[in-house]
Structure 1
């Protein structure tokens, strides 16, 4: 695997940073611990050790088995458990930050200590900050649950710190669940399904509002513990994150496979092979990124097709329109402005 990146077979998740919380919640809903752990490389005695880690593939297995309990509130309850996790210096520090800007910067910097399988792209306008959630590694059938978990965690954090989470807006790619009314009761703000991207839109008026729970000394001490843990953790950036971040930085230029391979210190054939192991390929990643950015720009602003094409590195607006139609089945003008 590429140095500095992790894959599904790496032990990159601390059991006490969410795995044990998920197991406890599943057991409360009638799951058997032995059956949950069966076939994984996690043993019951590992759960009590301070720095036991598990493979990311085992985390996905546990998520899949917990979802079989048909408990729609599980990602919300797990998000609450994580936010109040006494074993995670990162989670404890976030509500003690001076404001949302400081808290989210802290979460962004140390994000690999919590959910390394997710990364975010940020886009700011005059009125909002948009956080687009994307998989850092191939999450398969568990992607929707993990995106919901990350989204619920962010919303709970805003609610705890500002008590103004009703001003947020949520977009989710997944289709509306059958139990929609019950599902929506867990969000304190509007949540829309079957959307073109997974995104949380935060008014800038919340950005520097002082947190109700702020505590400067506590935040400073817990931040020090986060830095200490960083020195003991293995590389925590997923291959999909490394590639899409570099594609994002290169815009409006469209980086090639060869350029990305060179940046990562690989041959083109090696990069292709690694992407095959993630069940994807370079063109699909590039299209996925540009599709998300195009939809975000359409939602945030009234840019013309020509301006959108320029932002995303297309030679003219006709090429952009054709690409957008291929990605979404719609023309840009049909996307309703948010």
Structure 2
């Protein structure tokens, strides 16, 4: 890609800040439980550490996605500390793959619930239906402690996001029930779950029209591979049938770097004008420069984790003119040097 060496992503003031800071504090708690410092992950998501103390603070969905992705890799735990044992990177992808060959969504969700129990018995998932209403229930097998809310909300939203993705259909909720008391940020819940939310309920559940259980699964292995490149999107944003332009741009930047030399080339490849490209990305809370840097950052992290290539070679592969400028940019993205990041990863 043809990018300037001084380009550093700046997410802090883009998009709608609707994700509660309580979820960020939960991730910081997971780091503390492992004796690790969360500051590099916060830095990678452009979240000032002092915001953790501000109960009313919010971050954007994009920041939450980046924070979660960085934390999952650093902790080697896709559950982010919720359960008594870690769920290694790829665990939830395995669940999706197990559901992919199901004929209908109902069968896919049954498989999802059953196979989730193989990963952990700290929670139990169940899908049922009664009088035309389907209910995805989450039962706690142990005390989830301070991570209860973050765990329950994340698992339910992830399952719903996968269900929507499998059927390529937005599934509106009729009702959400949660066992815990209304949190201080209860006003965020209309964004987290559409439809009414009941706190202090007997069970955790998502309820929707049972007719959706009869929808066919429309995805295949190729679609799964594309989705897994940014699977967290299914958890942090409501599903949309019209694929986000952000995703199209990211995929183009990653797979067709020859079209990313400038906005005009990229826009032409996407059958848009450059002005429309910038405007629609802004509407989705992103910018072209952020996405260019995100692709470079993700590729850099992947090469550092999967290979032993020299830093100089990685710098060249991700589009930097020299090693020094790459190291400066990587430190800006993650708060760590490339060598420090590589050395800090488990295994």
TM range (shorter): 0.3 to 0.5
After TM superposition, the score normalised by the length of structure 2 is 0.39
After TM superposition, the score normalised by the length of structure 1 is 0.40
Which structure has more RCO (C-alpha within 8 Å, separation ≥ 6)?
A: 2
